[in-house]
Amino acid sequence: MKIHFNFSALFFIVLSIISRQASAQKTLTLTDCIKQAVTSNLQIQQQLYATQTAQANKLQANASALPSVNAYGTHNYNFGQTIDRFTNQFIQGKAVQSNNFYVQGAWTLFAGGQNYNNIQQANVNLLASRYDYDNLRNTITQNVAQNYLQVLLNTEVLKVTKNQLAQTIINIDMVTKRVNAGTAPQLDLLTMQAQKANEELNMVTAENNYALTLLSLMQLMNIADTQQISLAPIANIDSYLLNITPINTTDIYIEAKKSRPEIVSVETKLRSALFARRNVQGAALPTLTFNASVGTGYSGQSKQIVGSPTVSGANLSGYAEFVNPLNNEVIQAPTYTPTFNYDTRTTPFNTQIKKNINQSIGFSLQVPIFNNLRTHTAVQRAHINEQIAQINVNTAHQQLYKTIQQAVMEMNAANNKLNATAQVLNTQKETYTQATKRHTVGLLNSMDYLKFKTSLAKAEADYAQSKYEYVFKKTLVQFYATNKIEL
């Protein structure tokens, strides 16, 4: 009684540990896996940065059509014989401070349409970057769905191998009793034991395949601990398999090319190449720019009088002639100019800044005449790039049609294979049931019985594989038609 209690206690402890491990696992649906993969994928993050760069380029292109305004300031010391621009006097033998302050603006009024084409190209480049993101997301979604279904397939195959092994263990117990009773030869028991070893190997192989495919899925999602993850099975998979609607390749292609990001992306890049060509063509046209500026300055040479001047003397400035009215004699009399002494000081900074304000407005016109064929060769390169972009569009359309055509054909083939394996499975189940009955009563030896058992195991594995293969192929076709994966 004590031994029974210990084994019971051990059983409940193990069961409790298994239950806690199972409850700790997180069950993920296909939608959860896709969201996790898209969120954590480094290529997706890189493409998001590329989209942000395209957004910044668009902002810059729009701002290029606006005027540019800049403020400038200088602080200089002039030495030697120079002319002060504010006093128009020569400066010699001493250092004179000068300052200049001005605000200058320029606005390109016409540049051959280059600003417009730059803006349009930046707009379509941003759209193309977003479509590239959607295309990358679709690729990741497709890979996740394929790996997800592969994990479910290997889960089912593992279940089949475990069931086969469990049945073989039961059969070994039954055959052992027969051998001990002398109603069955020792060869039957050895055959069953060999079958058990093979099925144990099959189970180990199935476990390894399951672990590897689960690891591949977890790596797509950047999840390190695969022990904490389990996958939700597909709900209503039987009704999904039975829901078969006629599919036309051309109809799917017509709808797909309107929304598939890989198509819209290359078409958008073709428009970008068109605007790029128009942009370089505009470089051959004149450029008209409006300019305006306002400025002021300061000079240490500028002086102002302090106080009242005093007469210090006179300087002979010349002679004045006049006629004596008495005798009409011409008399020359000297004339003098008074000289003054006065004190000066440098004109204050604020006074000069207010006094020396100056403004200017004007237009500048640049007409390209010859620039070493740079514009000509740039136009040629842009035209070639446009032709390459057109080829990329045609290639993308051809590839999409071929991919859809192949996907539809593979889906139909998978459906035919599913129907065939379903019939084989039903037949093998019935055959195995009859063989089990005969083997139980001793009318069928173990070697022949194992042939039926092995055939059933193969039929179950083939059906599981064809079932998930058809689910994936059908989902893939729907993905091309609707741009969504729904299971």
The structural domains of the chain, with segments of one domain joined by +, span 29-66+111-285+370-482, 90-99+293-366
Q: How far apart are CA 352 and CA 347, in angstroms?
A: 7
The DSSP element (H or E) to which 380 belongs, if any, is helix 374-440
The DSSP element (H or E) to which 82 belongs, if any, is strand 82-83
Q: How is residue 421 written in tokens?
A: 């394996």
Q: How far apart are CA 487 and CA 231, in angstroms?
A: 13
Within 8 A by CB and 6+ apart from 273, the residues are 382, 385, 386, 388, 389
The pLDDT of residue 18 is 42
How many beta carbons lie within 10 A of that of residue 436, not counting itself? 16
Within 8 A by CB and 6+ apart from 85, the residues are 98, 297, 299
Place of tokens 């002060």: 84
* Residue 320 vs residues 242, 314, 451: alpha-carbon distances, Å: 130, 16, 149
Helix axes 374-440, 249-259, angle to 10 degrees: 130
Q: Are 278 and 379 in contact (CB under 8 A)?
A: no
The SS3 of residue 253 is: helix
Distance of CA 348 to the CA centre of its chain: 60
**Is 1.20.1600.10 the CATH classification of the domain at 29-66+111-285+370-482?**
yes
The pLDDT of residue 16 is 47
Q: Are 156 and 464 in contact (CB under 8 A)?
A: yes
For the chain, residues with pLDDT lower than 50 are 1-23
How many beta carbons lie within 10 A of that of residue 464, not counting itself? 20
Q: How far apart are CA 29 and CA 406, in angstroms?
A: 28
The SS3 of residue 442 is: coil
First to last CA, the chain: 53
* Residue 352 vs residues 78, 97, 291, 343: alpha-carbon distances, Å: 18, 13, 25, 19
The SS3 of residue 290 is: strand
Q: What share of the chain is helix, strand, coil (3-state, %, to 5)?
A: 65, 20, 15
**Which of the 8 DSSP states describes residue 483?**
S
- 250, 348, 267, 251: which is closest to 303 by C-alpha? 348
Q: Are 464 and 153 in contact (CB under 8 A)?
A: yes
Q: How far apart are CA 487 and CA 483, in angstroms?
A: 13
Model-level pTM? 0.78
Q: How is residue 174 written in tokens?
A: 């039954």
The pLDDT of residue 7 is 37
Count of CA atoms in the C-beta half-sphere (13 A) of 36: 19
How many beta carbons lie within 10 A of that of residue 114, not counting itself? 20
Which region, left, alpha or beta, applies to residue 483 given φ > 0 means left and ψ of -120 to 50 means alpha?
Answer: left
**Which of the 8 DSSP states describes residue 444?**
S
What phi and psi values does residue 91 have, to the nearest 5 degrees? -115, 125
Within 8 A by CB and 6+ apart from 263, the residues are 256, 257, 393, 396, 397, 400
Q: Are 169 and 192 in contact (CB under 8 A)?
A: no
| Alpha-carbon dihedral angle through residues 291, 369, 112, 277, given to the nearest 10 degrees | -140
What phi and psi values does residue 299 have, to the nearest 5 degrees? -135, 135
Alpha helices in 182-244 (DSSP H): 186-221, 237-242
Beta strand 82-83 with 90-91 is antiparallel
